[in-house]
Amino acid sequence: MTVAGASLFFTQFASAQELQAYTEDWPPYNYQQEGVVTGILTDILREACAVEKIQCSTQLVPWARAYKTVQETTNTLIYGIAKTPARESQLIWVGPVLPRTTWIFARPEVQNKLHSMSDLSALRIGMIRGEASADELLNAGVAKEAIVLFNSNNDVIRTFKLGKIDVLVNTEIGMAVNQKNFQIPDDKVKRVMKFYDGGSIYFGLNLHSDPVLVERLQNAVDKLRREGRIQQIVQQYTKKF
């Protein structure tokens, strides 16, 4: 190999190990604190990249924009994403990173109206545009007209606090953090029923991303899980709430 050829090879290899990651504001998994993106999944991603010496930058944007950007741009990643049948062929999946169990939370005024999934169709359900739970609700037979779409988690919670939506879907720790951040007392929100269980949260990469980069990132996630580091990160955040 010539010097010029070697230089080109190493330049291409180095650039292939740069990763732009996108996610939404979903505390405590991903959020901004003093101008820095942090959270459970953000820390896991950063540590995984550090293990493999991958240069990774993170950015918070609305979920629908994050998903579209990653579908269109090589060597980009969306994180905090559920792997669903509809999405499976649209991304390269690294993980699983965390288990995913979501719950139906409701205002106390409508709690007694909820006995099964079919009852949700008569209520106003706040959802983030493009999130997996919206499709899962539709697949469960919930009427499309019952779903009110928002751009962000904060928009959903603000509207819920104002009483303009009746129901939302979140994880237990996610809702606990929302209650703390938006000063919603326990008597103003009720966990009604388990919505989805048995799934996982992943990192999703653009389909044309460098295979070496994907493999290294998967190896790093596996290493963090094997050594108990992922659970340690989760515990660091859950102790705060």
pLDDT in tens, 203-226: 999 999 999 999 999 999 999 999
As a whole number, mean pLDDT of residues 137-162 equals 97
Alpha carbons 164 and 184: distance in angstroms, whole number: 15
pLDDT digits (tens, 9 = 90+) for 165-196: 999 999 999 999 999 999 999 999 999 999 99
Question: The pTM is what?
Answer: 0.89
With a CB cutoff of 8 Å and minimum separation 6, the contacts of 68 are none
Q: Are 68 and 76 in contact (CB under 8 A)?
A: no
Please list, residue by residue across 204-222, b when 16 or more beta carbons sit within 10 angstroms of its beta carbon and e when fewer do. Answer: bbbeebbeebbebbbebbe
pLDDT digits (tens, 9 = 90+) for 90-110: 999 999 999 999 999 999 999
As a whole number, mean pLDDT of residues 135-155 equals 96
Question: What confidence tier does 8 reach under pLDDT thresholds 50, 70, 90?
Answer: very low
Q: What is the pLDDT of residue 240?
A: 77
Q: What is the pLDDT of residue 47?
A: 98
pLDDT digits (tens, 9 = 90+) for 63-91: 999 999 999 999 999 999 999 999 999 99
Alpha carbons 86 and 133: distance in angstroms, whole number: 12
Domains, in order of start, for the chain: 3-100+199-238 (3.40.190.10), 101-197 (3.40.190.10)
